[in-house]
Structure 1
């Protein structure tokens, strides 16, 4: 039997188990020598019902990813995995049907709670990593979402504002 409260408890526990890893990675990013062609950084969450990944993308103001001009360049540009395969639900094969029925019935309640928990966790790790030394505008967003969390001004903005 699956429950929303138990599902959220499991997510929070999984996030807690990955906190040190994320903070360490965010501290490493501060040392990067970013290409001057980069206008902003996007930390994008790719999520499904059981796990998520976060990938950092270097972007220009036209919403295009900025890539290295040559492989031997010492400047960072492109994308990079920040944290991968964060499993927050382990579903046994014999539980798949029951789980997906549960998720479908509770998705409207679960999805916003999951997003909120992951966002708050990332924000806390961001603060703990003391990433305010990054000189680039930096955002946290769920893949295909219309709003991004601006990590410099600490507020939600519409995707269009980010690229204006």
Structure 2
């Protein structure tokens, strides 16, 4: 039952993300084509756990070589009331109280975001670009399309 509940939740998250796909690709193209300050060294996208049911969970930050924020780059990538409804999480937790709903949603989101980055032309982006869950020890490198552990 637990495996099925997890798979069902992930499929529903992916379905909801699909409705935002063209908007995200357009927003990512703007990020890719933007002019950044000379001290800009990297573009860091961060996924915040509260964003799934209260807007769009990812924010973009421009970082310098010291890994300090130079500026917020269109912090709100998309204007959305929610990425998916809160009821989706409640239903998943009811089906499997031990399910890591946030972790499952974040994994599906990062995979989807990386695909959208590629479709937006991210391979030609001049700066290193990463995507990570807020306050975790790993990053997804959008240039190499691989996970990097910071531990």
CA offsets per residue over residues 69-114 of structure 1, 9 Å max, x none?
xxxxxxxxx332213544323439xxx9x66963882333x34332
Give the counterpart of 1:88 among 84, 90, 101.
84
CA offsets per residue over residues 100-134 of structure 1, 9 Å max, x none?
963882333x3433222111101110111112221
| Bigger strand share | 1
Mapped pair 1:107 → 2:102: no
With the length of structure 2 as denominator, give the TM-score of the two structures: 0.79
Give the counterpart of 1:122 among 104, 107, 113.
113
Q: CA RMSD in A?
A: 2.7
The equivalences for 1:26-105 within 5 A come to 26-48=28-50, 50-51=52-53, 52-67=56-71, 78-80=72-74, 81-85=76-80, 86-91=82-87, 102=94, 105=97
Give aligned pairs, total: 143
- 1:74 aligned partner: none
- 1:75 aligned partner: none
Distance across 2 between alignment mates of 1:99 and 1:53: 20
Greater Rg, structure 1 or structure 2? Answer: 1
With the length of structure 1 as denominator, give the TM-score of the two structures: 0.73
Distance across 1 between alignment mates of 2:87 and 2:116: 27
